[in-house]
Amino acid sequence: MPNCIFCKIVHGEIPSVKVYEDARVFAFEDINPISIGHTLIIPKSHAENIWEISEEDLAAIHVASKKIAQAIRKALDPTGVAVLQLNGRGVNQMVMHYHLHLIPRTANSPEISMTQWNIVPGDMALIRKTGEKIAAAMR
Ligand code: 5GP
Ligand code: ZN
């Protein structure tokens, strides 16, 4: 899909901190993380939301979410991981390419709000380091 930022990430036209990839799925670190380790899982094939995505891609994303959540647990030892997926402007979907958020919370870090948060650019060095840690834990 032209001008879709996540399609560009899948095709390597925009850089990303990749943590996982398979035939249907691509996963990378969010550049405005709600918490450290905030990871997005997307279908390689463009679909806007839960109404458009194929069942095969949806299943692949959820299978991948389990693998990546296991890697996040191994890499970051969180107290919990929130799984969030927004569909439509009404719930503040900002990037119109389906994505599942994995949002870990570590000990003594703030509560995680679910459909609205401030966009604050993260520390890219820390994001990169965390992505590498999760990607390594995938092996
Ligand atoms: P949502 O559409 O569910 O509200 O969230 C979109 C998410 O994509 C946000 O958390 C935002 O930080 C993230 N995001 C937007 N543009 C980029 C980008 O270019 N690279 C990465 N890694 N994340 C992005
Ligand atoms: Zn797209």
Q: In this structure, are residues 84 and 105 in contact, taking their beta carbons and an 8 Å threshold?
A: no
- Mean pLDDT over 13-30 rounds to 98
For ligand 2, a single-atom ion, the residues with CB < 5 A are 1, 4, 6-7, 46, 97
Read off the pLDDT band of 111 (50, 70, 90): confident
| Active site (catalytic) residues | 99
The ligand that comes nearest to the alpha carbon of residue 38 is 1
Report the pLDDT value the prediction gives residue 127, as an integer from 0 to 100. 96
Which DSSP state fits 106?
-
Read off the pLDDT band of 118 (50, 70, 90): confident
Is the pLDDT score of 115 beyond 80? Answer: no
Q: What is the pLDDT of residues 83-105, one digit of tens each?
A: 999 999 999 999 999 999 999 99
User: Nearest C-alpha to atom 13 of ligand 1 is from which residue?
Assistant: 30
Number of domains in the chain: 1
Determine if ligand 1 sits within 6 Å of the CB of residue 95. Answer: yes
For residue 11, what are the domain limits? 5-138
Q: Is 133 left (phi over 0), alpha (psi -120 to 50) or beta?
A: alpha
Parallel, antiparallel or unpaired: strands 80-84 and 100-105 = antiparallel
Supply the CATH number for residue 9's domain. Answer: 3.30.428.10
Q: What whole-number percentage of the chain has pLDDT above 70? A: 99
Q: In this structure, are residues 4 and 122 in contact, taking their beta carbons and an 8 Å threshold?
A: no
User: Nearest C-alpha to atom 5 of ligand 1 is from which residue?
Assistant: 94
Is the pLDDT score of 35 beyond 80? Answer: yes
Q: Which atom of ligand 1 is nearest to the CA of 5?
A: 19
The model carries a pTM of: 0.92
Report the pLDDT value the prediction gives residue 45, as an integer from 0 to 100. 98
Which DSSP state fits 90?
G
The per-residue pLDDT of the chain, averaged, comes to 95
